[in-house]
Amino acid sequence: MTDEKAGGYGRRPRPEPPEPLPAPTVDAHTHLDACGCVTTDDVAAALDRAEAVGVTRVVTIADDLDAARWAVAAANSDSRVAAAVALHPTRTAAVSEDDFAEIERLAADPRVVAVGETGLDFYWDHSPPEAQETWFRRHVDLAKRLGKPLMIHDRDAHADVLRVLRSEGAPETVVFHCFSGDAAMARECADAGYVLSFAGPVTFKNSHDLREAAALVPEEQLLVETDAPFLTPHPHRGRANEPYCLPWTVRGLAAVRGVSDERLAGVAGRNAERVFRLGELPPIVPELALGANGRRSP
Protein backbone atom coordinates (compact mmCIF):
# COMPACT_ATOMS: atom_id res chain seq x y z
CA MET A 1 0.00 0.00 0.00
CA THR A 2 1.29 3.49 -0.79
CA ASP A 3 0.15 7.09 -0.69
CA GLU A 4 -2.22 6.13 -3.48
CA LYS A 5 -4.42 5.39 -0.45
CA ALA A 6 -5.82 8.88 -0.99
CA GLY A 7 -6.01 8.51 -4.74
CA GLY A 8 -9.72 7.93 -5.12
CA TYR A 9 -9.67 4.17 -5.75
CA GLY A 10 -12.74 3.72 -3.57
CA ARG A 11 -14.73 5.98 -5.90
CA ARG A 12 -13.82 4.14 -9.09
CA PRO A 13 -16.33 1.58 -10.39
CA ARG A 14 -15.60 -2.06 -9.68
CA PRO A 15 -15.49 -4.56 -12.57
CA GLU A 16 -18.18 -7.16 -12.98
CA PRO A 17 -17.20 -10.40 -11.18
CA PRO A 18 -14.93 -12.83 -13.03
CA GLU A 19 -15.73 -16.45 -13.70
CA PRO A 20 -15.37 -18.40 -10.42
CA LEU A 21 -12.16 -20.32 -9.87
CA PRO A 22 -12.28 -24.12 -10.15
CA ALA A 23 -10.55 -24.45 -6.74
CA PRO A 24 -10.65 -22.24 -3.65
CA THR A 25 -7.77 -19.89 -2.93
CA VAL A 26 -6.62 -17.13 -0.56
CA ASP A 27 -5.98 -13.44 -1.16
CA ALA A 28 -2.67 -13.15 0.69
CA HIS A 29 -2.61 -9.34 0.83
CA THR A 30 -5.47 -6.87 0.64
CA HIS A 31 -6.51 -3.62 2.32
CA LEU A 32 -10.18 -3.98 3.13
CA ASP A 33 -10.33 -0.55 4.77
CA ALA A 34 -8.97 1.17 1.66
CA CYS A 35 -11.49 -0.84 -0.40
CA GLY A 36 -14.20 1.10 1.40
CA CYS A 37 -15.03 -1.34 4.18
CA VAL A 38 -15.92 0.37 7.45
CA THR A 39 -18.40 -1.80 9.35
CA THR A 40 -18.84 -5.50 10.04
CA ASP A 41 -21.51 -5.60 7.33
CA ASP A 42 -19.07 -4.06 4.82
CA VAL A 43 -16.47 -6.71 5.59
CA ALA A 44 -19.01 -9.51 5.29
CA ALA A 45 -20.27 -8.19 1.95
CA ALA A 46 -16.73 -7.96 0.51
CA LEU A 47 -15.98 -11.50 1.65
CA ASP A 48 -19.28 -12.76 0.25
CA ARG A 49 -18.33 -11.28 -3.15
CA ALA A 50 -14.93 -12.92 -2.91
CA GLU A 51 -16.23 -16.29 -1.76
CA ALA A 52 -18.71 -16.36 -4.68
CA VAL A 53 -15.75 -16.56 -7.09
CA GLY A 54 -13.61 -18.97 -5.04
CA VAL A 55 -11.59 -16.60 -2.83
CA THR A 56 -12.44 -18.06 0.54
CA ARG A 57 -10.05 -16.20 2.87
CA VAL A 58 -8.15 -12.91 2.90
CA VAL A 59 -5.35 -11.34 4.90
CA THR A 60 -6.10 -7.64 5.40
CA ILE A 61 -3.03 -5.49 5.87
CA ALA A 62 -2.38 -2.38 7.95
CA ASP A 63 0.08 0.37 7.08
CA ASP A 64 -0.39 2.76 10.02
CA LEU A 65 -1.75 2.69 13.55
CA ASP A 66 -5.36 3.48 12.69
CA ALA A 67 -5.35 0.83 9.98
CA ALA A 68 -3.76 -1.64 12.39
CA ARG A 69 -6.49 -1.15 14.97
CA TRP A 70 -9.13 -1.52 12.25
CA ALA A 71 -7.50 -4.64 10.75
CA VAL A 72 -7.45 -6.45 14.09
CA ALA A 73 -11.10 -5.57 14.66
CA ALA A 74 -11.99 -6.72 11.12
CA ALA A 75 -10.21 -10.03 11.68
CA ASN A 76 -12.38 -10.49 14.76
CA SER A 77 -15.53 -9.65 12.81
CA ASP A 78 -15.44 -12.41 10.19
CA SER A 79 -13.82 -15.84 10.40
CA ARG A 80 -12.72 -15.54 6.74
CA VAL A 81 -10.44 -12.58 7.58
CA ALA A 82 -6.97 -12.57 9.14
CA ALA A 83 -4.81 -9.50 9.71
CA ALA A 84 -1.24 -8.28 9.41
CA VAL A 85 -0.04 -5.11 11.15
CA ALA A 86 3.00 -2.84 10.87
CA LEU A 87 4.04 0.69 10.02
CA HIS A 88 4.55 1.10 6.28
CA PRO A 89 8.02 2.44 5.38
CA THR A 90 6.51 5.65 4.03
CA ARG A 91 4.96 6.22 7.48
CA THR A 92 8.24 6.06 9.43
CA ALA A 93 9.43 9.67 9.36
CA ALA A 94 8.15 10.40 12.87
CA VAL A 95 7.45 7.14 14.70
CA SER A 96 7.45 7.23 18.50
CA GLU A 97 8.24 4.40 20.88
CA ASP A 98 4.61 4.56 22.01
CA ASP A 99 3.49 4.06 18.41
CA PHE A 100 5.64 1.00 18.03
CA ALA A 101 4.58 -0.35 21.41
CA GLU A 102 0.98 -0.33 20.18
CA ILE A 103 2.00 -2.10 16.96
CA GLU A 104 3.68 -4.74 19.14
CA ARG A 105 0.53 -5.16 21.19
CA LEU A 106 -1.70 -5.44 18.13
CA ALA A 107 0.70 -7.81 16.36
CA ALA A 108 0.41 -10.21 19.29
CA ASP A 109 -3.34 -10.65 18.70
CA PRO A 110 -3.96 -14.31 17.81
CA ARG A 111 -5.82 -13.38 14.62
CA VAL A 112 -2.83 -11.37 13.37
CA VAL A 113 -0.90 -13.77 11.16
CA ALA A 114 2.06 -11.61 10.07
CA VAL A 115 4.07 -8.50 10.84
CA GLY A 116 3.68 -6.28 7.82
CA GLU A 117 3.76 -4.61 5.59
CA THR A 118 7.20 -3.30 6.43
CA GLY A 119 10.37 -2.77 4.45
CA LEU A 120 11.83 -0.02 2.30
CA ASP A 121 10.26 2.29 -0.28
CA PHE A 122 12.58 4.55 -2.25
CA TYR A 123 9.91 5.48 -4.81
CA TRP A 124 7.98 7.85 -2.52
CA ASP A 125 9.91 10.63 -0.80
CA HIS A 126 7.97 10.68 2.47
CA SER A 127 10.43 9.17 4.93
CA PRO A 128 14.24 9.35 5.03
CA PRO A 129 15.96 6.08 4.11
CA GLU A 130 17.65 6.01 7.51
CA ALA A 131 14.32 6.13 9.35
CA GLN A 132 12.86 3.49 7.07
CA GLU A 133 15.75 1.15 7.74
CA THR A 134 15.67 1.70 11.50
CA TRP A 135 12.01 0.76 11.76
CA PHE A 136 12.34 -2.05 9.23
CA ARG A 137 14.95 -3.60 11.51
CA ARG A 138 12.63 -3.17 14.49
CA HIS A 139 9.85 -4.97 12.60
CA VAL A 140 12.23 -7.80 11.68
CA ASP A 141 13.02 -8.23 15.38
CA LEU A 142 9.32 -8.12 16.27
CA ALA A 143 8.45 -10.85 13.78
CA LYS A 144 11.19 -13.05 15.21
CA ARG A 145 10.09 -12.46 18.79
CA LEU A 146 6.46 -13.26 17.96
CA GLY A 147 7.31 -16.20 15.69
CA LYS A 148 5.15 -14.75 12.92
CA PRO A 149 5.92 -14.24 9.21
CA LEU A 150 7.46 -10.97 8.10
CA MET A 151 5.60 -9.36 5.20
CA ILE A 152 7.90 -7.21 3.06
CA HIS A 153 7.12 -4.03 1.12
CA ASP A 154 9.96 -3.51 -1.37
CA ARG A 155 9.71 -0.67 -3.86
CA ASP A 156 12.83 0.40 -5.75
CA ALA A 157 14.90 -0.98 -2.85
CA HIS A 158 15.70 -4.60 -3.73
CA ALA A 159 19.38 -4.66 -2.78
CA ASP A 160 18.86 -2.79 0.48
CA VAL A 161 15.95 -4.96 1.58
CA LEU A 162 18.02 -8.08 1.03
CA ARG A 163 20.98 -6.49 2.81
CA VAL A 164 18.91 -5.74 5.91
CA LEU A 165 17.47 -9.26 5.98
CA ARG A 166 20.97 -10.73 5.76
CA SER A 167 22.41 -8.46 8.44
CA GLU A 168 19.51 -8.86 10.88
CA GLY A 169 18.95 -12.53 10.25
CA ALA A 170 15.60 -13.13 8.61
CA PRO A 171 12.64 -14.60 10.50
CA GLU A 172 11.75 -18.19 9.73
CA THR A 173 9.14 -17.04 7.21
CA VAL A 174 9.54 -14.00 4.95
CA VAL A 175 6.88 -13.02 2.40
CA PHE A 176 7.67 -10.55 -0.37
CA HIS A 177 4.33 -8.88 -0.97
CA CYS A 178 3.65 -7.86 -4.60
CA PHE A 179 7.04 -9.16 -5.71
CA SER A 180 8.51 -6.75 -8.24
CA GLY A 181 12.01 -8.06 -8.88
CA ASP A 182 13.49 -9.78 -11.91
CA ALA A 183 14.45 -13.41 -12.40
CA ALA A 184 17.83 -12.99 -10.70
CA MET A 185 16.24 -11.57 -7.58
CA ALA A 186 13.54 -14.24 -7.60
CA ARG A 187 16.24 -16.92 -7.64
CA GLU A 188 18.08 -15.26 -4.74
CA CYS A 189 14.89 -14.99 -2.72
CA ALA A 190 13.83 -18.53 -3.50
CA ASP A 191 17.26 -19.87 -2.54
CA ALA A 192 16.94 -18.03 0.78
CA GLY A 193 13.60 -19.76 1.38
CA TYR A 194 11.49 -16.63 1.04
CA VAL A 195 7.88 -16.75 -0.17
CA LEU A 196 7.00 -14.59 -3.19
CA SER A 197 3.50 -13.20 -3.62
CA PHE A 198 2.31 -11.98 -7.03
CA ALA A 199 -0.36 -9.37 -7.70
CA GLY A 200 -2.01 -7.72 -10.70
CA PRO A 201 1.23 -6.49 -12.36
CA VAL A 202 2.08 -10.05 -13.38
CA THR A 203 -0.84 -9.76 -15.84
CA PHE A 204 0.29 -6.42 -17.34
CA LYS A 205 1.49 -6.58 -20.94
CA ASN A 206 4.76 -4.76 -20.25
CA SER A 207 5.78 -6.90 -17.25
CA HIS A 208 8.16 -9.21 -19.11
CA ASP A 209 10.83 -9.35 -16.36
CA LEU A 210 8.21 -9.98 -13.69
CA ARG A 211 6.62 -12.81 -15.63
CA GLU A 212 10.05 -14.38 -16.14
CA ALA A 213 10.55 -14.22 -12.37
CA ALA A 214 7.09 -15.67 -11.67
CA ALA A 215 7.76 -18.62 -13.93
CA LEU A 216 10.72 -19.87 -11.92
CA VAL A 217 9.52 -19.56 -8.31
CA PRO A 218 9.22 -23.01 -6.68
CA GLU A 219 5.59 -24.00 -6.35
CA GLU A 220 5.72 -24.26 -2.56
CA GLN A 221 7.00 -20.66 -2.27
CA LEU A 222 4.23 -19.00 -4.28
CA LEU A 223 1.29 -16.85 -3.15
CA VAL A 224 -1.27 -14.69 -4.96
CA GLU A 225 -2.76 -11.40 -3.81
CA THR A 226 -4.77 -8.40 -4.92
CA ASP A 227 -3.19 -5.56 -2.91
CA ALA A 228 -6.71 -4.17 -3.32
CA PRO A 229 -7.87 -1.54 -3.98
CA PHE A 230 -4.66 -1.05 -5.98
CA LEU A 231 -3.06 -2.92 -8.90
CA THR A 232 -6.23 -4.25 -10.50
CA PRO A 233 -5.23 -6.98 -12.96
CA HIS A 234 -5.65 -6.92 -16.72
CA PRO A 235 -8.16 -6.44 -18.36
CA HIS A 236 -9.43 -3.98 -15.72
CA ARG A 237 -6.23 -2.10 -14.89
CA GLY A 238 -6.99 1.30 -13.39
CA ARG A 239 -10.38 0.36 -11.97
CA ALA A 240 -11.08 -0.31 -8.30
CA ASN A 241 -9.74 -3.64 -7.07
CA GLU A 242 -11.20 -5.93 -4.42
CA PRO A 243 -10.55 -9.52 -3.29
CA TYR A 244 -13.18 -10.88 -5.71
CA CYS A 245 -10.91 -9.70 -8.57
CA LEU A 246 -8.18 -12.21 -7.63
CA PRO A 247 -9.23 -14.84 -10.23
CA TRP A 248 -7.84 -12.67 -13.04
CA THR A 249 -4.41 -12.69 -11.40
CA VAL A 250 -4.65 -16.42 -10.69
CA ARG A 251 -5.42 -17.13 -14.35
CA GLY A 252 -2.68 -14.81 -15.58
CA LEU A 253 -0.12 -16.40 -13.28
CA ALA A 254 -1.26 -19.90 -14.23
CA ALA A 255 -0.69 -19.06 -17.90
CA VAL A 256 2.79 -17.74 -17.14
CA ARG A 257 3.70 -20.94 -15.29
CA GLY A 258 2.04 -23.27 -17.80
CA VAL A 259 -0.34 -24.89 -15.31
CA SER A 260 -4.10 -25.06 -14.99
CA ASP A 261 -6.12 -22.43 -13.17
CA GLU A 262 -7.24 -25.14 -10.78
CA ARG A 263 -3.69 -26.15 -9.92
CA LEU A 264 -2.47 -22.58 -9.40
CA ALA A 265 -5.45 -21.62 -7.24
CA GLY A 266 -5.14 -24.75 -5.13
CA VAL A 267 -1.39 -24.45 -4.66
CA ALA A 268 -1.55 -20.76 -3.71
CA GLY A 269 -4.42 -21.39 -1.32
CA ARG A 270 -2.66 -24.28 0.43
CA ASN A 271 0.55 -22.27 0.64
CA ALA A 272 -1.29 -19.37 2.28
CA GLU A 273 -2.94 -21.73 4.75
CA ARG A 274 0.50 -23.10 5.66
CA VAL A 275 2.50 -19.86 5.66
CA PHE A 276 -0.03 -17.95 7.76
CA ARG A 277 -1.22 -20.98 9.76
CA LEU A 278 -4.80 -20.08 8.91
CA GLY A 279 -6.09 -23.43 10.08
CA GLU A 280 -4.85 -22.61 13.58
CA LEU A 281 -6.69 -19.31 13.91
CA PRO A 282 -8.84 -19.08 17.04
CA PRO A 283 -12.51 -18.15 16.84
CA ILE A 284 -13.35 -14.49 16.39
CA VAL A 285 -13.76 -12.42 19.56
CA PRO A 286 -16.95 -10.36 19.22
CA GLU A 287 -15.90 -7.77 21.80
CA LEU A 288 -12.87 -6.96 19.61
CA ALA A 289 -14.92 -6.79 16.42
CA LEU A 290 -16.01 -3.80 14.38
CA GLY A 291 -19.13 -2.00 15.50
CA ALA A 292 -21.74 -0.35 13.34
CA ASN A 293 -19.56 2.74 13.03
CA GLY A 294 -16.43 0.87 12.04
CA ARG A 295 -14.86 1.06 15.49
CA ARG A 296 -14.33 -1.73 17.93
CA SER A 297 -17.46 -2.87 19.68
CA PRO A 298 -17.70 -1.80 23.34
Nearby residues of 161 by Cβ (< 8 Å), 6 or more positions away? 119, 120, 136, 152, 154
Mean pLDDT in residue range 49-55: 98
d(CA 27, CA 84): 13
Alpha carbons 161 and 202: distance in angstroms, whole number: 21
Q: What is the pLDDT of residues 277-288, one digit of tens each?
A: 999 999 998 888
Residue 11 binned pLDDT confidence (cut-offs 50, 70, 90): low
Report the candidate in 290, 254, 236 with the shortest Cα–Cα distance to residue 83: 290
Task: Evaluate whether 94 touches 64 at the Cβ level (below 8 Å).
Answer: no
Of 126-135, 205-214, 244-253, the range with the lowest mean pLDDT is: 126-135
**Amino acid 6: pLDDT:** 39
pLDDT digits (tens, 9 = 90+) for 191-201: 999 999 999 99
Average pLDDT, the chain: 93
Quick one: average pLDDT of 35-51?
97
User: 10 Å Cβ neighbour count for 156?
Assistant: 11
The pTM score is: 0.94
Rounded mean pLDDT, 5-14: 58
